[in-house]
């Protein structure tokens, strides 16, 4: 289905229990076959938070060998996936651009929708792109840095808002219902786990990141596990027919690690990348900036190593979202970014694999100052600028309608010849 094959490391996200199963596949296996295995396992009754990394191979490694090689397999997997993310299809883009000139409209009259349609054509590898399903993946986690007073809201709000998502009462629920967009809610590491819910996926890497002003957010292995989980979710979404995969986040204190990631990767001052978040006043903002500065000084992240940046000053949901971006690009799907936290995740994904930029769309421009820097670094122009800073995927879900319109106009508009409409006279 994806037109790509890879050796040993197709990731698919399953459900239930709080464990990670690593199974290495010793033969070449296409994504569609691996996906069939996922659904087979689901039909056998596996539930929501188990990761299968690898494939089906009869006679998998025994537990001793799996434990001995887990770190090596995990490292190779990310390298393999990153290496196999192909650039967008330039010929499809060329043909789509040519088609735009023959549609019943003045050239360029649909503005950036025309550019978006051409980029979708390149991402999907077809002249006439079509959007089947749309999905927003909202990933939630808590942050140890909240103990430093960087936010106005108590940490328990993260779990409370996830419960609100599951009940259908948040802004993202309202927007998604209106737009016909599916939602996937993921617990990537909340302090207070919620009761089992059929619509909640649990990534059991750890509960809450560390306080980045005192030490790393997580271990390197935990960072890899988060990224792997995001890749798995994206691949499953693509197999299920999602052509637009949007990023959403929920986590009290999340803009602080996002500011730290942005400052580190872009080599900018924390005063440039740090904003007011949920409404900090001037004094509180200055304190937040000092916390970001301290996090960078204490952890000294290696800016040339995205996993090191993620593990030192990132967050669990940021890691999963980075994997979602990487996996979406691997599957040749369009990834629609939400705001600042999603942008920080995209920075991590881009550092692991710069080619992901061919598949990323900026849903909107957040009011957080660091987000503008992120989009500039990624070479993206936001589709919307509404002064929003909520997160949850709200900017991404609104932008999906624009992308769907861009694809539909490119694919379904009549040409001048088809409609028997006179084109403009050629210029001398």
Instruction: For residue 248, give both structure tokens.
Output: 């959403």
Question: Between vectors from CA 159 to CA 333 and to CA 171, what angle results, nearest 5°?
Answer: 55
SS3 at position 45? coil
By the 8 A CB rule, do 102 and 134 touch?
no
Instruction: For residue 126, give both structure tokens.
Output: 């077809």
Annotated catalytic residue, options 93, 236, 392, 404: 392
H/E stretch holding 188 reads strand 182-189
Task: Return the closest-CA partner of residue 78 out of 304, 343, 352, 354.
Answer: 352
Q: Is 425 exposed, middle or buried (0-12, 13-18, 19+ CB in 10 A)?
A: exposed
Task: Return the closest-CA partner of residue 381 out of 400, 362, 409.
Answer: 362
Structure letter (DSSP) for residue 111: T
- Strand 242-250 and strand 133-141: the pairing is parallel
Instruction: For residue 20, give both structure tokens.
Output: 């990670």
Q: Is 392 a catalytic residue?
A: yes
CA 19, 25, 31, 37 dihedral sign is: negative
Task: Return the closest-CA partner of residue 194 out of 213, 219, 166, 214.
Answer: 166
Burial 126-163 (b: 16+ CB within 10 A, else e): bbbbebeebbbbbbbbbbbbbebebbeeebebbbebbb
Assign residue 149 a region: left if phi > 0, alpha if psi is -120 to 50, beta otherwise?
Answer: left
Residues forming the active site: 392
């Amino acid at each position: 289905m994806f037109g790509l094959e890879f050796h040993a490391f197709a990731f698919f996200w399953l459900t239930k229990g709080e464990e990670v199963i690593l199974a290495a596949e010793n033969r070449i296996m296409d994504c569609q076959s691996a996906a069939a295995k996922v659904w087979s396992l689901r039909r056998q009754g596996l539930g929501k938070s188990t990761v299968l990394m690898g494939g089906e191979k009869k006679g998998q490694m025994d537990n001793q060998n799996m434990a001995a090689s887990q770190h090596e397999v995990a490292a190779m997997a990310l390298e393999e996936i990153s290496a196999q993310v192909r650039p967008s299809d330039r010929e499809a883009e060329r043909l789509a651009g040519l088609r735009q000139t023959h549609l019943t409209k003045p050239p360029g009259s649909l503005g950036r929708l025309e550019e978006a349609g051409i980029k979708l054509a390149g991402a999907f590898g077809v002249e006439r792109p079509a959007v089947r399903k749309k999905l927003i993946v909202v990933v939630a986690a808590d942050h140890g840095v909240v103990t430093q007073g960087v936010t106005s809201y108590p940490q328990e709000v993260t779990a409370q808002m996830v419960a609100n998502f599951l009940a259908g009462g948040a802004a993202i629920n309202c927007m998604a219902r209106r737009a016909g967009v599916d939602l996937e809610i993921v617990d990537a590491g909340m302090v207070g786990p919620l009761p089992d819910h059929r619509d909640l996926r649990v990534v059991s890497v750890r509960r809450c990141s560390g306080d980045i002003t005192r030490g790393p957010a997580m271990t390197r292995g935990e960072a890899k596990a988060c990224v792997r989980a995001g890749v798995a979710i994206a691949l499953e979404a693509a197999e299920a027919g999602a052509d637009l995969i949007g990023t959403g986040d929920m986590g009290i204190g999340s803009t602080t690690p996002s500011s730290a990631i942005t400052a580190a990767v872009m080599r900018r001052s924390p005063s440039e990348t740090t904003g007011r978040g949920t409404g900090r006043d001037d004094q509180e903002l200055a304190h937040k900036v000092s916390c970001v500065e301290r996090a960078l000084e204490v952890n000294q992240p290696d800016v040339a190593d995205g996993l090191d940046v993620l593990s030192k000053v990132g967050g669990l949901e940021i890691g999963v979202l980075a994997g979602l971006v990487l996996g979406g690009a691997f599957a040749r799907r369009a990834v629609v970014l939400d705001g600042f936290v999603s942008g920080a995740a995209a920075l991590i994904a881009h550092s692991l694999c710069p080619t992901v930029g061919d598949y990323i769309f900026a849903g909107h421009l957040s009011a957080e100052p660091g987000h503008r820097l992120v989009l500039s670094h990624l070479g993206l122009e936001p589709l919307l600028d509404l002064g929003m800073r909520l997160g949850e995927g709200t900017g991404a879900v609104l932008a999906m309608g624009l992308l769907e319109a861009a694809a539909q106009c490119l694919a379904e508009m009549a040409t001048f010849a088809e409609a028997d409409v006179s084109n403009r006279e050629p210029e001398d």
